[in-house]
């Protein structure tokens, strides 16, 4: 048959129906001859082509590629994304606008062909669209894959949302990063204007809100004092408002209840009081610090229903950092330069243990979700990072903003005596005063301190911290609510070798000879309560193997 046709037609022979489909995508043919051995495969390919109508309604793109990345079949979704009438016969990357490959696999097609295993990657187009690829090789009769099935998912909204969350987090940190040199040269009024300017900058450029009003709550009088008003009418900016659920507009309601309020249409909402001229919708969230409302943050739009649940989420996240920045500035303004160190200590003391509780709870929940809900684990990891970032920012503020004379007067370590800087220490004790003292004493020397209430909580914290390098010193009371310090040492040895343990005990208190057994198990460092600061520092430095020349303050 082929010999007879060869005189009148150009004959192209291929090994499989998939190869035939690849050739048909590149050029037209007058006919197709299928050998009997390949009839079953050919019928399967025909059904695949007919299923295009079924797959057309899928939100994802599905395409079949050959080894040269040429599209030989697809469900048509790429036509919509690319704006082309036909994509068959075209190079996949060209159809997608020659996008940037973000990984994790930077050669997903070649990897799948070469290894015979599936691969994945993310593409970013010049128009800032993001597409997630899943590439699976098609098993051939001879075992060597020559074709790929690729699913393409538009993940633009998820990626942009993640980028915005990261930008908001970065902006929040920048709000707290006030230069000590700049502040020492600025008046109180200038400091306030600097912070207001930074808040307005991030609100406009990051959140795209043009009308902004911030009020701070006078805790004694319950009055909401205007701090910043952009785009508001003069009457609205000067209006007296109180933290009351009635007769004080949306702002008063939010301050009184501590709940965010989305006003979709101002003409139909009885709570709304005119703010910006012609406003048709508004979004108001409370400024909350330590579970206490310290003010309100309000944005408005001339369009009805202009704000979404995503806007609400983004603004609530941003205002957490705004609240911290405003509170930090308020404390600084209230103090004289010589007492700035005390202000920073007050801020740190107020947040250190509550942040530890957040860390403890997040680690506890995360351990229960590992292997079950990746998205929940990712969100909890972000909470852990954010909580630790807040502590680092406060420490950085304390280091950069504390005047040198005040530092020396209060007995703080000079810069050349920060032997513990950036070292990670876990303190395990059921007594809150001990945990608080650990923060106060060790963090003034630059250490990063986290605490746990009991042994099981300590084990979870240590397991989680292993991903970030682990704790370099673990200080534990010999008697915990759920186990002894020696028992904790033995459990830690299951995944840490050696355990950088320091045991604390009162003089004469050693039930069951725990200290003796702990020394035999490798713990050679013991602190006897009550201990002096120089003893604590010397012991910690021995564990860290750094010079023990830090003098007592």
Fold of 337-544: Rossmann fold (3.40.50)
Residue 6, pLDDT > 80, answer: no
Give the range among 62-66, 265-269, 302-306, 379-383 with minimum mean pLDDT.
379-383
CA angle centred on 344, ends 339 and 348, rounded to 5°: 145
Cα torsion 500, 505, 511, 515: sign: positive
Q: How many C-beta neighbours within 10 Å does residue 479 have?
A: 17
Mean pLDDT of the region 97-115: 89
- Determine contact, residues 463/481, Cβ cutoff 8 Å: no
CA dist., res. 242 & res. 223, Å (int)? 4
Q: Alpha-carbon distance 237 to 150, whole Å?
A: 56
User: What token pair was written down for 325?
Assistant: 């920045």
Name the CATH architecture for the domain at 160-334. Answer: 2-Layer Sandwich (3.30)
258 phi-psi bin (left φ>0, alpha ψ -120 to 50, beta other)? left
Check pLDDT > 70 for residue 58: no
Where is pLDDT greater, at 200 or 79?
A: 79
Q: Where are the domains of the chain?
A: 2-154, 160-334, 337-544
Q: Is the pLDDT of residue 553 over 50?
A: no
Sign of CA dihedral 544, 548, 549, 553: positive
Q: Inform me whether the pLDDT recorded for 469 exceeds 80.
A: yes
pLDDT at 539 over 70: yes
Which range has the worst mean pLDDT, 195-209, 331-345, 421-435, 484-498? 331-345
CA distances in angstroms from 526 to 7, 21, 474, 476, listed in the order given: 97, 76, 12, 10
The pair of structure tokens assigned to 250 is 């949306």
Does 392 or 416 have the greater pLDDT score?
392
pLDDT tens, residue by residue, 323-370? 877 766 555 444 444 444 555 566 666 667 777 887 888 788 777 766
Query: 286 near 245, Cβ under 8 Å?
Result: no
pLDDT at 402 over 50: no
pLDDT at 270 over 90: yes
CA-to-CA distance for 456 and 51, rounded, in angstroms? Answer: 56
Sign of the alpha-carbon dihedral angle for 90, 96, 97, 103: negative
Q: With 50 as the cut, is the pLDDT of residue 212 above it?
A: yes
Q: Are strands 448-452 and 424-428 parallel, antiparallel or unpaired?
A: parallel
Q: pLDDT grade, residue 236 (50/70/90)?
A: very high
State the pLDDT at residue 336. 40
Largest separation between any pair of C-alpha atoms in the chain: 107
The CATH architecture annotation of domain 2-154 reads: 2-Layer Sandwich (3.30)
Average pLDDT over residues 410-426: 63
- Three-state SS for 52-67 is HHHHCCCCCEEEEEEC
Say what angle helices 156-176 and 309-334 make with each other, to 10 degrees. Answer: 10
Tell me, rounded to whole angstroms, the distance of Cα 362 from its chain centroid. Answer: 13
DSSP 413: P
Say how far apart CA 527 and CA 326 lie, in whole Å. 40
- Percent share of the chain, pLDDT over 70: 67
Flag whether pLDDT at 271 surpasses 90: yes
Q: Yes or no: say if 514 and 484 are a contact pair by the CB < 8 Å rule.
A: yes
Other beta carbons less than 10 A from residue 377's beta carbon: 17
Q: Name the residue with tokens 């903003």.
A: 401
Provide the pLDDT confidence category of residue 491 given band limits of 50, 70 and 90.
very high
Mean pLDDT estimate for the chain: 76
Q: What SS3 state is found at 224?
A: strand
- Spatial neighbors of 214 by CB under 8 A, at least 6 apart, are 196, 199, 226, 227, 228, 229, 287, 295, 296, 297, 298, 322
Q: Indicate the pLDDT class of residue 318, thresholds 50, 70 and 90.
A: confident
**In what order do the strands lie in the sheet containing 71-74?**
71-74, 61-66, 147-154, 130-137, 119-124, 100-104
The mean pLDDT value for 202-218 works out to 77
d(CA 281, CA 302): 7
pLDDT of residue 502: 92
Between CA 229 and CA 296 the distance in angstroms is: 12
- Mean pLDDT is lowest, of 100-109, 202-211, 460-469, for 202-211
How far is residue 230 CA from its own chain's centroid? Answer: 30
Q: Does 114 score more than 80 pLDDT?
A: yes
The reply to whether 337-544 shares the fold of 160-334 is no
Average pLDDT of the segment spanning 433-437: 84
pLDDT band at 403 (very low <50, low <70, confident <90, very high): very low
């Amino acid at each position: 048959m082929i010999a007879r046709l060869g005189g009148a037609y150009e004959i192209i022979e291929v090994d499989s129906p998939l190869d035939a489909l690849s050739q048909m995508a590149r050029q037209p043919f007058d006919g197709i001859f299928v050998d009997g051995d390949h009839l079953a495969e050919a019928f399967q390919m025909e059904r695949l082509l007919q299923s295009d109508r079924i797959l057309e309604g899928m939100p994802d793109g599905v395409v079949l590629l050959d080894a040269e990345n040429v599209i030989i079949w697809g469900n048509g979704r790429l036509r919509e994304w690319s704006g082309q009438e036909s994509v068959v016969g075209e190079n996949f990357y060209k159809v997608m606008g020659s996008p940037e490959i973000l990984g994790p696999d930077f050669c997903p097609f070649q990897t799948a062909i070469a290894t015979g295993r599936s691969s994945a990657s993310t593409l970013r187009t010049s128009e800032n669209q993001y597409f997630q690829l899943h590439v699976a090789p098609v098993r051939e009769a001879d075992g060597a894959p020559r074709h790929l099935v690729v699913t393409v998912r538009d993940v633009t909204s998820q990626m942009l949302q993640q980028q915005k969350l990261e930008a908001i987090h970065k902006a929040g940190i920048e709000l707290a990063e006030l230069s000590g040199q700049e502040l020492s040269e600025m008046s109180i009024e200038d400091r306030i204007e600097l912070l207001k300017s930074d808040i307005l900058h991030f609100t406009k450029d990051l959140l795209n809100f043009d009308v902004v009003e911030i009020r701070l709550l006078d805790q004694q009088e319950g009055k909401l004092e205007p701090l910043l008003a952009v785009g508001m009418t003069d009457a609205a900016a000067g209006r007296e408002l109180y933290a009351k659920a009635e007769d004080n507009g949306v702002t008063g309601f939010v301050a009184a209840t501590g709940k965010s309020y989305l006003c979709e249409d101002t003409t139909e909402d009885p709570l709304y009081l005119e703010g910006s001229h012609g406003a048709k919708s508004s979004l108001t969230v409370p400024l909350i610090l330590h579970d206490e409302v310290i003010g309100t943050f309000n944005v408005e739009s001339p369009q009805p229903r202009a704000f979404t649940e995503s806007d609400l989420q983004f603004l609530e996240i941003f205002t957490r950092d705004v609240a911290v920045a405003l509170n930090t500035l308020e404390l600084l303004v209230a103090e004289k330069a010589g007492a700035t160190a005390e202000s920073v200590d007050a801020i740190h003391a107020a947040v250190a243990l509550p942040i530890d509780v957040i860390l403890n709870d997040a680690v506890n929940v995360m351990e229960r979700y590992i292997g079950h809900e990746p998205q929940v684990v990712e969100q909890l990891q972000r909470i852990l990072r954010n909580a630790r970032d807040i502590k680092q920012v406060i420490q950085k503020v304390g280091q950069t903003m504390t005047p040198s004379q005040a530092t020396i007067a209060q007995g703080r370590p000079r810069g050349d005596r920060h032997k513990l800087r950036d070292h990670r220490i876990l303190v395990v004790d059921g007594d809150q005063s001990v945990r608080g003292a650990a923060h106060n004493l060790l963090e003034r020397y630059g250490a990063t301190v986290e605490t746990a209430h009991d042994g099981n909580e300590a084990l979870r914290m240590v397991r989680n911290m292993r991903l970030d390098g682990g704790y370099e010193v673990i200080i534990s009371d010999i008697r915990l609510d759920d186990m002894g310090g020696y028992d904790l040492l033995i459990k830690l040895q299951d995944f840490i070798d050696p355990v950088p343990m320091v045991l604390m005990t009162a003089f004469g208190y050693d039930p069951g000879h725990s200290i003796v057994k702990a020394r035999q198990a490798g713990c050679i460092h013991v602190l006897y309560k009550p201990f002096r600061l120089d003893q604590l520092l010397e012991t910690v430095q021995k564990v860290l193997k750094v010079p023990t020349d830090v003098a007592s303050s």
